[in-house]
Amino acid sequence: MTTKYKGTREAFAAAMLDLAEEVKNLVIVCPDSLKAMRAVEFGEKYPERYVECGIAEQCAVDVASGLATAGVIPFVGTYGGFLTMRACEQMRTFVGYTNQNVKFIGVNGGLIGGEREGVTHQFYEELAIVSSFPNYTIFTPSDPQQCYEACKLAVKTPGPVYIRVASGKEPDIFPEGTPFSASGITVLKEYGNDAVLFSNGFVLDRVLAAADLLKEQGINVTVADINILYGKDPSAILETMAKSNQLFTIEDHNINGGVGSYISRLACEHRPAFVTRIALTTYGESGPAKELADAYGFSPEAIADKVKTTLKK
């Protein structure tokens, strides 16, 4: 039975509750983040499987490394930047280099993830950082349902896994029961091959809306969600890339190191094409998620306009 959830953070907590009986060696490691991770119920139900470390992310990652050496599967959940930046070295040396079976859930990914908290709590760099660490698998779910599935898949994925999550207020896109695509890609719209729009994370609903706007203007595109970044086998992504020589990437992340970099690399190495990257090149600011996303170039209209003007060149 699946625990009910709304938003990505509750999806994480639900997945932990649903996995707990089956995966007896699963624990949650918290740098005072149990509430933020919506996992209080887990902590109350399994007190010894909730490992509190205090407000100390470096310690939490080190503790997780130590736990994993003894066959425990730790999920370290807190703000993505505090993991990947504050505890960057611990993630790299004591989990990545040692190839420990530790899972990370980094919340507040992107402007949309950090929204009104402001720049200290908005993170647009995590994927660039983690993607430079060998041994890591990176999951970027695009809605709560996919986040739930990503957490379940993480348990079956050996070695370090990083899952990028957001605020907990994300729109639902995928129908219940949709697996987390093992090929790293899900094609969601196939209006045509004028361009392929690759997205990841919580701007996906905006990219889908942009595709509809473009269709109304006679531009027919394909939209694909990239849910595994820098995966081992990119063949399914390459197949979709082959549909057009005009590729676009849209992500709520810095322009370096995320899905734009990934698609550019694949284009350079396997299938030359024009790649236009819509992403962040500045820090953000406080604001409601939708207004922020609109203000920083992720409105459906702005995305559609960028595609249209680029194709006209």
Stretch in the footprint of other proteins (CB under 8 A) among 3-11, 55-63, 117-125, 285-293? 55-63
Residues 63-102, interacting with other proteins (CB under 8 A)? 63-72, 74, 89-90, 93-94, 97-99
Residues 247, 271: Cα–Cα separation, whole Å: 11
Residue (of 134, 130, 163) closest to 146 by Cα position: 163
Which token pair is 215? 């269709």
**Residue whose CB is less far from other proteins, 64 or 292:** 64
Q: Is 194 in the site for other proteins (CB under 8 A)?
A: no
Q: Is 50 in the site for other proteins (CB under 8 A)?
A: no
Q: Which of 21, 22, 48, 216 binds other proteins (CB under 8 A)?
A: 48
**Residue whose CB is less far from other proteins, 27 or 241:** 27
Binding map of other proteins across residues 232-251, x = CB under 8 A, - = no contact: --------------------
Residue (of 34, 35, 29, 80) closest to 59 by Cα position: 29
Given a contact cutoff of 8 angstroms between Cβ atoms, the answer to whether 275 and 247 are in contact is yes
- H-run or E-run covering 52: strand 50-52
Q: Is 44 in the site for other proteins (CB under 8 A)?
A: no
Stretch in the footprint of other proteins (CB under 8 A) among 51-59, 165-173, 268-276, 294-302? 51-59
Q: Is 56 in the site for other proteins (CB under 8 A)?
A: yes
Q: Is 128 in the site for other proteins (CB under 8 A)?
A: no
Widest distance between CA atoms in the chain: 61
Residue 71 CA, distance from chain mean position: 26
- H-run or E-run covering 134: none
Q: Is 52 in the site for other proteins (CB under 8 A)?
A: yes
Residues 46, 17: Cα–Cα separation, whole Å: 9
Q: Is 14 in the site for other proteins (CB under 8 A)?
A: no
**Residue whose CB is less far from other proteins, 19 or 53:** 53
Residues 75, 60: Cα–Cα separation, whole Å: 10
Pairing status of strand 137-139 against strand 228-229: antiparallel
Residue ranges binding other proteins (CB under 8 A)? 25, 27, 48-49, 51-54, 56, 58-59, 62-72, 74, 89-90, 93-94, 97-99
